Structure 1
């Protein structure tokens, strides 16, 4: 009689790094699509995390996110990345309208000693799936962005990290008296990612 074995998936630092950096690429594309930063027809449909997702076909955006993920992977694997923030701004005035904040906690023992952790790939995928669904439904809880917008990405790293020449020092691009919505988090057992969106609310300002 066959026995049923419950197995856990082994998560290494490199594997966790790949999961987190890949997640950010898909999340960034989903935010840019759902918030209308680029025209809907410039996105192509793919399936990921068991969901239909949209990826930008704009060569500039594709190159930006690919280069970004390469750098994030380096910082993640070194345990030096604390937070990633995708900022949406008014194209004409540079006023910050939304900040999509991804805070990252790293298991330093894994970084320092090279040990691995255990967690089911399916469980991680379900957690990421929940975040992607919340991003997709963001139009229901965020104000409309009627004006043309642009985006930028801020990376918060440990102070001893050497900043690549392709990056520049930036102000935090904060929003005065923002409204905030906390989204789901996911945890590979090596990297935990908490997601929060803060946004400018004109109706709140007028009260």
Structure 2
């Protein structure tokens, strides 16, 4: 079902916005994993989304990690708890963090007017903005240093205080990069959630 129905064209609810943003993270993170070569290119399938051809993993182990993560992200978004999502790329051998893809999330206080209140924004426009961010992620490979040694990734979730976390999730450090280069990417807004993207990376020594 679409986050917007035809009776209320352009009306975005908190729940609908959470679905849209979760969908962006699904495509965005898959795209980073493909672009940065963390998994073999032949373990991705092409899909059309946001007017773009994007790559989505068909690696069962990776899907088993990502799918519950995105479900939880959607719940946090709908509960107005998610403040930031970070994908961290580290060298497997040294554990050194070499890239940090950060997405800061702001949530409008939509429920002041009641549980079913909505904001106005055309879903087509929202998807266009999301596509612009993903285009930038793809283009960033032109300036990011090559990952010449085997790397792994992790996802960090920042929530509001007193948020109940899934039992199998562990506390983590912020995984910051010392003296990192930082590039601000585009942002998008559903009119309920705003997401600002940036990438930090370690300069080649």
Bin for the TM-score computed over the shorter chain? over 0.9
Asked if the contact 1:46–1:52 (Cα under 8 Å) also holds between the matched residues in 2, the reply is: yes
Partner of 1:4: none
Instruction: Map 1:64-143 onto structure 2 (within 5 A).
Output: 64-110=65-111, 113-114=114-115, 115-143=117-145
Question: What does the per-residue CA deviation read over 1:8-35, in whole Å, with 9 as the maximum and x for residues that have no partner?
Answer: 5110111000000111011000000001
Partner in structure 1 of residue 62 of structure 2: 61
Please give the alpha-carbon distance, in whole angstroms, between the structure 2 residues aligned to 1:45 and 1:86: 22
- Per the TM alignment, residue 61 of structure 1 is displaced from its structure 2 partner at its CA by 1.1
Give the Cα–Cα distance (whole angstroms) in 2 for the partners of residues 165 and 108 of structure 1.
29
The 1-side partners of 2:113 and 2:65 are apart by 30
8 A contact 2:110–2:192 mirrored in 1 = no
Please say if residues 51 and 131 of structure 2, whose CA atoms lie closer than 8 Å, have aligned partners that are also in contact. Answer: yes
1:195 CA displacement: 0.2
2:15 aligned with 1:14: yes
> How does the TM-score come out when normalised to structure 2?
0.93
In 1, Cα distance between the equivalents of 2:65 and 2:23?
14
Please give the alpha-carbon distance, in whole angstroms, between the structure 2 residues aligned to 1:189 and 1:17: 11
* Cα offset, 1:111, TM superposition: 7.0
Shift of 1:57: 1.1
Residue 91 of structure 1 deviates from its aligned partner by: 1.2
What is the number of equivalent residue pairs in this alignment? 197
Q: CA deviation at 1:125?
A: 1.1
Could you tell me how far 1:112 is from its partner in structure 2? 7.5
Q: 1:171 aligns with which of 160, 170, 173?
A: 173
Q: Please tell me the root mean square deviation across aligned C-alpha atoms, in Å.
A: 1.4
Instruction: Please give the alpha-carbon distance, in whole angstroms, between the structure 2 residues aligned to 1:110 and 1:62.
Output: 33
8 Å Cα contact 1:86-1:101 kept in structure 2: yes
TM-score (norm 1): 0.92
Q: Does the aligned pair in 1 maintain the 2:110–2:119 contact within 8 Å? A: no
Structure 1: tracts of 5 or more residues without a match: 1-6
Q: How far apart in 2 are the matches of 1:12 and 1:178?
A: 37
Measure the CA separation in 2 of the matches of 1:70 and 1:87: 19
Provide the C-alpha distance between the structure 2 equivalents of 1:131 and 1:49, rounded to a whole number of angstroms: 10
Residue in structure 1 matched with residue 33 of structure 2 by the alignment: 32
Residue matched to 2:183: 181
SS in 2 for 1:132: helix
